[in-house]
Copies of this chain bind each other. A is one copy, B any other.
């Protein structure tokens, strides 16, 4: 791969396709790694991505693809090894086409998620992928990491929203798979192989994506539940009463509300006393239904499953509920976690997991635990913090043990140690530890078959 001294390679590339490396290109949100790169390539078209890929293949130079840089597992920064070329999609941001009657939008990899939302909204449609970093995340990165977010329960992950992709493979050839079909059984599904491969098998340059009709009626409620088991029973009841209309079902623990009160005392809290567990239920209904009525009917049918509740009386109040939920990660950051875990569990294993995880951690030390997240998808963010009055640094020696404790438990319940963030560089070892060995062997065979030189995002997902 590129020797830092080898300026000849960069000189061989068209000057207008390069820009200098800026500090932001080498950073990732958690500040765990600092990347490196010989230069940043800024192609304007798929043909130019192909041209750059061919040049890298010929020179055996690694390519690190860069979207919005919002990934949480270090997939976007290569901290060591021979200097790679960073390939940023910042100039490939076009909405290539929009087909309202087909409910399809075709966008380039660099399109920012909120720009997709706006383009869909302009033709009275919605693109449902919704996540905290949507103001800077780019759709190519969302697809490469199979991003999740808060609407997965109803609309699925990023892969479920994608009808087709165009991608440049490791030899520079272009896979023209930008179909906009709901059914297409013509051979192996290369689209689904590239989605979630984090740029290690090919670079997605554009995608055709599903749009949906805008929701006519929205509603939300915060319901206090006695325990996680009741929250699951309530989820099941909600989905039976409102099939296909439940957009979000988020679990919130008292610790999250306490962190909000501690770090942001001005934020209005919905309950006089923070409940041990509550859920945020978000629904989208057709025009013929009334959200308050639907949520009242749910409350009444729930019986003992719900101890107390607030139903949003306006869209403003609904957004306040969501602000509460979406501000928890910021409160977490201010408190400062020892270790954060993006886990998924089979739904019915969640109560047992929670009952076992807390005492298992207590055997290691004295912690505060904030467990919250997308209960509807079985996806919890199980984050571990210092005990009140103690500092993060005091726990440095325990960090690995905490992570191992949680991941071992998750694995024992046949869960996932990366529900929505991916493997990147952070979890390469976790994948080796917890991944199915036959799957890993198959993954390595596929990687070798499609990227024999190992130039695509070296070191991400699989060890370089």
Contact = CB atoms under 8 A, between A and B. Distances in A.
Interface of A: 99-104, 145-146, 148, 152-154, 157, 159-160, 169, 173-177, 179-190, 192-193, 195-197, 201, 212-213, 215-216, 232-233, 236, 239-245, 284, 286-289, 293-294, 297, 344-348, 374, 376-379, 414-423, 427, 430-431, 434-436, 438-443, 445-446, 448-450, 461
Contacts of A174: 438
A443 to B, nearest CB: 5
A328 to B, nearest CB: 18
A150 to B, nearest CB: 12
B148 A345 contact: no
Given A153-B182, A289-B289, 10 more contacts: A103-B239, A157-B183, A173-B441, A180-B414, A181-B346, A183-B374, A186-B423, A190-B439, A245-B286, A442-B450
A183 B450 contact: no
A287 B449 CA distance: 52
B440 A187 contact: yes
A177 B436 contact: yes
Q: Which residue of A100, A195, A215, A378 has the most chain B CB atoms within 10 A of its CB atom? A: A378
A188 B197 contact: yes
B188 A201 contact: yes
6 contacts: A152-B182, A183-B379, A184-B419, A187-B439, A286-B289, A288-B294
Contacts of A240: 213
Contacts of A243: 212-213, 215-216, 244, 284, 286
A459 B25 CA distance: 47
A101 B347 contact: yes
Contacts of A435: 186-187
Contact of A346 (B102, B159, B239, B344): B102
Contacts of A169: 438, 442
A439 B157 CA distance: 24
Given A347-B102, A450-B446, A181 B415 contact: yes
B188 A446 contact: yes
A375 to B, nearest CB: 11
A171 B446 CA distance: 15
Contacts of A378: 181-183
B196 A193 contact: no
Contact of A181 (B190, B286, B416, B450): B416
A379 B184 CA distance: 9
Contacts of A99: 346-348
A187 B427 CA distance: 10
The 3 closest A-B pairs by CB, nearest first: A192-B192, A244-B244, A449-B449
A15 to B, nearest CB: 29
Contact of A414 (B175, B179, B414, B434): B179
A300 B153 CA distance: 33
Contacts of A104: 346
A289 B245 CA distance: 13
A445 B450 contact: yes
A199 to B, nearest CB: 12
A188, A196, A197, A446 interface centre (most CB from chain B within 10 Å): A188
A154 B102 CA distance: 15
B187 A461 contact: yes
Nearest to A160: B160
A192 B156 CA distance: 15
Contact of A185 (B183, B245, B422): B422
Given A174-B438, A193-B193, A441-B173, A416 B215 contact: no
Contacts of A180: 346, 414
Nearest to A202: B442
B101 A233 contact: yes
Contacts of A196: 185, 187-189
